[in-house]
Amino acid sequence: DAGVIQSPRHEVTEMGQEVTLRCKPISGHDYLFWYRQTMMRGLELLIYFNNNVPIDDSGMPEDRFSAKMPNASFSTLKIQPSEPRDSAVYFCASRGQGWGNTIYFGEGSWLTVV
């Protein structure tokens, strides 16, 4: 089975530009998570969806960040405008129903804002 698929794998962009990160969860999984990882702060939850509906977005840093999930097989995380402090690895993850089910991570999108 295909795992969680993210794109792009690497992106370098200039400050002020819009960045869009994409994610395809594992088929049949109805929870989707966006995490951000930096050396200083570790792995932080940004937002998660259940059945395409945002459940908790309290981790989204500020209004420059937005996330959508238009259907069960696709989600985007957008940063507009981007800033150097947004440089991080952004992971998308998904899980299925069932309290014991674990979360599976994609390979990550490595973002550098210069």
Partner 1 sequence: GQNIDQPTEMTATEGAIVQINCTYQTSGFNGLFWYQQHAGEAPTFLSYNVLDGLEEKGRFSSFLSRSKGYSYLLLKELQMKDSASYLCAVREDSGYALNFGKGTSLLVTP
Q: How far is the CB of 50 from partner 1 (least distance, A)?
A: 7
- Among 19, 26, 48, 75, which residue interacts with partner 1 (rule: CB under 8 A)? 48
Following DSSP, what letter does each residue of the chain receive, concatenated?
Answer: ----EEE-SEEEE-TT--EEEEEEPPTT--EEEEEEEETTTEEEEEEEEETTEEEE-TT--STTEEEEEEETTEEEEEESS--GGG-EEEEEEEE-SSTTPPPEE---EEEEE-
Closest approach, Cβ 81 to partner 1, in A, equals 27
Looking at the Cβ atoms of 24 and 95, the one nearer to partner 1 is 95
Residue 12 contacts partner 1 per CB under 8 A: no
Instruction: Please identify which residue in 17, 27, 50, 80 interacts with partner 1, judged by CB under 8 A.
Output: 50
Q: Toward partner 1, which CB reaches closer, 31 or 74?
A: 31
Residue 107 exposed, middle or buried by CB count within 10 Å (0-12, 13-18, 19+) = middle
Contact between 65 and partner 1 by CB under 8 A: the answer reads no
Q: Quick one: tokens of 43?
A: 């792995």
Nearest to partner 1 of 18, 56 (CB atom): 56
Residues within the interface to partner 1 (CB under 8 A): 31, 33, 35, 41-45, 48, 50, 55-56, 91, 95, 99-100, 102-108
